Amino acid sequence: MDKKYILLGKTVAELEKFMLDNAQTKYRAKQVYNRLYLKSVGDIDSMTDLPLATREMLKEKAQICSAVIKDKQISKDGTIKYLFENQDGTYSEAVLMRFDNRANLTACISTQVGCPMGCSFCATAKLGFIRNLSYEEIVQQIYLIQADTGLKVTNIVFMGQGEPLLNFDNLIKSIKIFREHFQVGARRITVSTCGLIPEINKLAELDFQSTLAISLHAPNQKKREEIMPVSKKYDFENLIKCLKKYADKTGRRVTVEYVLMKDINDSVNDAKELAIAIAKLKSNVNLIIYNENEKSHYKKPLKESIQKFKYILEASGKKVTIRLERGADIDAACGQLSAKFNK
Ligand code: SAH
């Protein structure tokens, strides 16, 4: 069977060409465009402002997405975890989070199936690397969530499965589509990386306007390379240097992410050392409380060490937030995405 034309991810010009090639008008292309990006709909039949014949043509020649929602789990706290089945039978995951008292709807999306980075504490790492997602597959995650909930996603974080900077071109292309077509502002998009120096330099060259978050997780090279193999290739000191350059070039503060793990990186000394290491880096700190999982021996920190850690960083002049844990009961929290179906 011939592969159908995937509508999502296409520009108006591309849709116009497709529609003209199929005996339709430019006006119809514009209608399809609006249906795709301004009002995500579940299927072609729901594009009711199109004449029946146009919808029939579309159903024959095209499809909105290549992936489908395979499963959906809803947490006690309202977080929804989606499992998508891609055309090749692999599975991707995304998580939708709502916070009380905030109008924001934040989606956490994936850029790869599995991940090659091998961080010792992360469940996704256990899957190994399967493949990069295409930009269409990245964009579809937001579309399918919006079509499913009928709600507009306002914030996007690239913190699902995979290392976004290893899928650089598709990452950049998907961000362009989110900004231009889905109308999500650059400032409402965050890309999290484990610290690939050449790619961070590339982002700096692009004058990247979204937020860059760095999974630092340790206060020095010795501790970092024990839990994050990437640090053997791109060491701590050079990473901090590269981030300083990035912040100067883009004028944007980076977010330092730090997963607190009991007796690994949560001591008073760790906090002091971290404060010194990032003192000259324009940054905010986001502390993440370790999410325990059955595949790992790491433990959550004690409440007392979390508070001390936060206090020491604040006293050094940093703005510190503690990431609210979402969806842990459905394995949707940070570091828990492992699409158990992937073989
Ligand atoms: N590869 C990118 C994107 C993943 S973001 C990166 O490393 O930044 C997911 C975040 O959750 C990362 O900061 C990751 O280090 C963190 N994480 C992984 N396992 C975790 C766990 N069990 N508990 C809390 N955070 C975890």
Give the domain-ending residue among 63, 90, 109. Answer: 63
- Give the pLDDT of residue 339: 72
Which ligand 1 atom is at minimum distance from the Cα of 157?
5
Per-residue pLDDT of 257-307, as tens digits, reads: 999 999 999 999 999 999 999 999 999 999 999 999 887 899 999 999 999
Is 93 among the residues known to form the active site? yes
Ligand 1 centroid vs 333 CA: distance in angstroms? 9
Pairing of strands 91-98, 80-85: antiparallel
Do residues 101 and 167 share a domain? Answer: yes
CB proximity list for 214: less than 8 A, separation 6 or greater: 192, 193, 194, 195, 239, 243, 254, 255, 256, 257
Distances (CA, A) of 183 to 37, 152, 178: 8, 10, 6
Residue with tokens 């007796």, as numbered in its chain: 263
> Residue 297 contacts by C-beta under 8 Å, 6 or more apart in sequence?
none
Interval between CA 192 and ligand 1 midpoint (Å)? 9
Mark whether 136 is an active-site residue.
no
Token output for 124: 């996704």
Same domain, 93 and 37: no
Give distance in angstroms: CA of 265 to centre of ligand 1.
Answer: 15
Cβ(194) – ligand 1 distance below 6 Å: yes
SS (H, E, C) the chain: CCCCEECCCCCHHHHHHHHHHCCCCHHHHHHHHHHHHCCCCCCHHHCCCCCHHHHHHHHHHEECCCCEEEEEEECCCCCEEEEEECCCCCEEEEEEEECCCCCCEEEECCCEEECCCCCCCCHHHHHCEEEECCHHHHHHHHHHHHHHHCCCCCEEEECCCCCHHHHHHHHHHHHHHHHHCCCCCHHHEEEEECCCHHHHHHHHHCCCCCEEEEECCCCCHHHHHHHCCHHHHCCHHHHHHHHHHHHHHHCCCEEEEEEECCCCCCCHHHHHHHHHHCCCCCEEEEEEECCCCCCCCCCCCCHHHHHHHHHHHHHCCCCEEECCCCCHHHCCCCCCCCCCCCC
Q: Are 200 and 212 in contact (CB under 8 A)?
A: yes
Tally the domains of the chain: 2
In a domain, 113, yes or no: yes
Is residue 109 a part of any domain in this protein? yes
> Which portions of the chain are predicted below pLDDT 50?
none
Question: Encoding tokens for residue 267?
Answer: 């001591």
- Domain limits for position 31: 5-63
| Whole-number pLDDT of residue 343 | 54
Q: Is residue 343 part of a domain?
A: no
User: Within a domain: residue 25?
Assistant: yes
Q: How far is the CA of 215 from the centre of ligand 1 (A)?
A: 7
Indicate if 21 and 126 belong to the same structural domain: no
For ligand 1, whether the C-beta of 334 sits within 6 Å is yes
Both structure tokens of 61: 């020649």
Residue 341 confidence (pLDDT): 65
User: Of 337, 340, 317, 316, which Cα lies nearest the Cα of 328?
Assistant: 337
CATH of the domain at 234: 3.20.20.70
Beta bridge partner(s), residue 108: 95, 157
For residue 101, give both structure tokens.
């008292």
Q: What is the whole-number distance in angstroms between the Cα of residue 67 and the centre of ligand 1? A: 25
**Residue of 16, 65, 93, 242 with catalytic role:** 93
Which residues share a beta bridge with 93?
83
Residues 141 and 41 in one domain: no
Q: Domain check: are 236 and 300 in the same one?
A: yes
Residue nearest to atom 7 of ligand 1 (CA): 194
The torsion region of residue 33 among left (phi > 0), alpha (psi -120 to 50) and beta comes to alpha
User: Strands 91-98, 105-108: parallel, antiparallel or unpaired by DSSP?
Assistant: antiparallel
Cα-flanking dihedrals φ and ψ of residue 131, to 5°?
-170, 165
User: Is 110 touching ligand 1 by the criterion CB < 6 Å?
Assistant: no
Q: CATH number for the domain including 16?
A: 1.10.150.530
Among 20, 39, 63, the domain-final residue is 63
Task: Indicate if ligand 1 lies below 6 Å from the C-beta of 228.
Answer: no
Give yes or no for residue 338 CB within 6 A of ligand 1: no
Same domain, yes or no: 11 and 99 = no
CA 321, CA 295: separation in Å to the nearest integer?
27
Closest protein CA for atom 9 of ligand 1: 159
**92 and 152 together in one domain:** yes
Tokens of 332: 């949707």
Tens of pLDDT, residues 207-259:
899 999 999 999 999 999 999 999 999 999 999 999 999 999 999 999 999 99
Residue nearest to atom 4 of ligand 1 (CA): 159
